[in-house]
Amino acid sequence: MKISKAHQIFADHLDNQNALEYPEPFLGPNWKDVLNFWLYLDTLSREDFDIVGKRYCALGRVDTLKSLTRKAARDNICYYYVYATAAWVVTPTLTCIPASVGVTCVYATLELIGSHNLETFTFLPLFLNP
């Protein structure tokens, strides 16, 4: 299995290398989607991230959407603090990018973790065709 920068940082952050070989207990039932998204992040250029950042800023006020996304992830994962960590460690993998992109990575990851409870995605589509 190919390991993304975010996946490696996630395992390091947890201080548990089992997260690399057996991600499902750490990322929940949608772990494959999360890992594929993290691999995708490794392929994006600085220009791509700039586009994503601009798209995020164009959303305007998204507090309610962020809250719903966190809830969708939290309600379906027994150890929420571990899974939320999965999203927050994505940000350090993306150096020299706007803060809005880091936030977008966090919420796109949370959307994927809780995707089986969401009707629509808000943050993940910002990464499509940058």
> How many Cβ atoms are within 10 Å of 90's Cβ, its own excluded?
27
- Look over the chain and give the mean of its residue pLDDT values, rounded to a whole number: 79
Q: Which helix (H) or strand (E) holds 129?
A: none
72-129 pLDDT per residue, tens: 666 655 444 454 555 555 555 555 566 677 778 888 888 888 888 888 898 999 999 9
CA distances to 27, 45, 53, 83, 112 from 18, in Å: 12, 30, 32, 14, 21
| pLDDT over 70 (residue 61) | yes
Range of the domain at 120: 5-127
The predicted model scores a pTM of 0.82
Q: How is residue 78 annotated by DSSP?
A: T
Number of domains in the chain: 1
